[in-house]
């Protein structure tokens, strides 16, 4: 990918003390996760570590590097190449006349639980069927996404806008939420609020409608205005790439094709025939299929100074041209939860667990 050469990246050559390893990295190097590690190696193949910090950051902070590697793999799969001779932004796409893309994640707020807090524990869902709980969940997620968005907008205005290779090209923010336990359950609710000031909500009569929301409020009472793509306040940002499912679960779904292991996927997918009523189900690993680009969306800024070329836009599974004009492939992934099983008997291998689980399934 490009002419810039670099030595291969070894994500799993430990560079820091064990106490500094991120919980998600520790989960990745567990026995039985060989398939996941192989997926990540494939994602990193051809990536150039321009500042020499990627491996250490992956092992100690994890999510931002995971998201960047996912995007690199996605673009590779589309035949899109990155010009690594430029130090910033993260991606400088050669095709389509040149597109600049900066990756960013939404982290948890100070003094709040990180997203990995439930990792490896029993499945206890937040009660998002309760309207008040759902509103609080979406509001908090919107605030975290807003912080990520405006931090990069500020960086663009102060630094990136002065770079010759960035000027006059579309500039896209690629945003992923890792802001709380169960962050992937937000689907498109929070990002749609932030960008278009609209969310999908039940009218209480079995129908789903778009609800306009002018602002969300922080705990200290400060208001965050919504609908930043509804006006010319940030014309520099051409679009937002978003996925709430480019997660460890994505790597697990792809890893099952490499190495079978006992895992269950709970999923919701877009139902083209009935808006607001997604297809939902639970699948064992052997019955589940998910592609690399499943769940990837692009949100266009109608006021952008440099619009995104349509050829690149069409690569995405879901396209939000504005809040009301949405193009989405039928059965596209909205959210997904994975649960890997281990029966914890001494001396048992992953293959033993898999065989026992398959035997259980056959009796259902």
Q: Averaged in consecutive runs of 10 residues, what is the pLDDT profile of the chain (364 residues)?
A: 64 96 95 94 96 96 98 97 94 97 94 76 63 86 96 97 96 96 90 92 70 88 93 97 96 92 90 83 92 97 97 97 88 90 54 51 38
Cβ neighbours around 61 below 10 Å, total: 16
Q: Cα dihedral sign for 189, 192, 194, 198?
A: negative
Residue ranges of E strands in 149-262 = 171-177, 198-202, 208-212, 215-217, 223-225, 239-242
Residue 3: the pLDDT is 47
* Residue 7 DSSP SS3: coil
Residue 1: the pLDDT is 41
Cβ atoms of 95 and 56 within 8 Å: the answer is no
Residue 118: the pLDDT is 63
Smallest CA-to-CA distance from 43 within 243, 250, 241 is with 250
User: Which residue ranges make up each domain of the chain?
Assistant: 18-362
Spatial distance between the Cα atoms of 41 and 31, rounded to a whole number of angstroms: 16
Residue 355: the pLDDT is 56
* Residue 284 DSSP SS3: strand
Residue 216: the pLDDT is 92
Residue 316: the pLDDT is 97
Residue 207: the pLDDT is 67
- Token readout for 173 is 């923010």
Cβ atoms of 105 and 176 within 8 Å: the answer is yes
């Amino acid at each position: 990918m490009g002419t810039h050469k670099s030595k291969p990246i070894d994500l799993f050559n430990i560079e820091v003390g064990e106490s500094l390893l991120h919980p998600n990295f520790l989960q990745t190097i567990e026995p039985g996760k060989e398939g996941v590690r192989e997926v990540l190696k494939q994602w990193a193949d051809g990536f150039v570590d321009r500042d020499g910090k990627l491996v250490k950051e992956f092992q100690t902070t994890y999510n931002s590097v995971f998201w960047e590697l996912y995007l690199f793999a996605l673009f590779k799969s589309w035949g899109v190449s990155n010009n690594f001779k430029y130090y910033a932004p993260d991606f400088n796409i050669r095709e389509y006349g040149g597109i600049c893309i900066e990756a960013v994640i939404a982290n948890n707020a100070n003094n709040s639980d990180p997203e990995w807090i439930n990792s490896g524990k029993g499945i206890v869902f937040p009660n998002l069927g309760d309207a008040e709980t759902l509103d609080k969940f979406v509001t908090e997620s919107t605030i975290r996404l807003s912080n990520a968005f405006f931090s990069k907008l500020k960086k663009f205005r102060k630094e990136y806008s002065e770079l010759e290779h960035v000027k006059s090209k579309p500039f896209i923010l690629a945003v992923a939420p890792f802001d709380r336990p169960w962050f992937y359950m937000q689907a498109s609710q929070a990002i749609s609020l932030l960008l278009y000031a609209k969310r999908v909500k039940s009218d209480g009569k079995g129908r789903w409608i778009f609800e306009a929301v002018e602002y969300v409020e922080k705990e200290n009472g400060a208001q965050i205005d919504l609908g930043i793509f509804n006006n010319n306040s940030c014309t520099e940002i051409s679009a937002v790439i978003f996925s709430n499912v480019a997660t460890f679960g994505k790597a697990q779904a792809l890893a099952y094709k490499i190495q079978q292991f006992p895992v269950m996927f709970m999923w919701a997918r877009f139902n083209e025939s009935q808006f607001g009523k997604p297809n939902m189900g639970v699948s064992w690993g052997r019955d589940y299929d998910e592609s690399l680009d499943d769940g990837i969306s692009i949100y266009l800024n109608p006021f952008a100074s440099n619009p995104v070329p349509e050829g690149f836009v069409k690569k995405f599974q879901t396209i939000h041209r504005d809040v009301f004009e949405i193009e989405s492939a039928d059965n596209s992934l909205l959210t997904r939860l994975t649960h890997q099983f281990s029966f914890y008997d001494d001396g048992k291998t992953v293959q033993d667990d898999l065989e026992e689980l398959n035997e259980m399934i056959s009796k259902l």
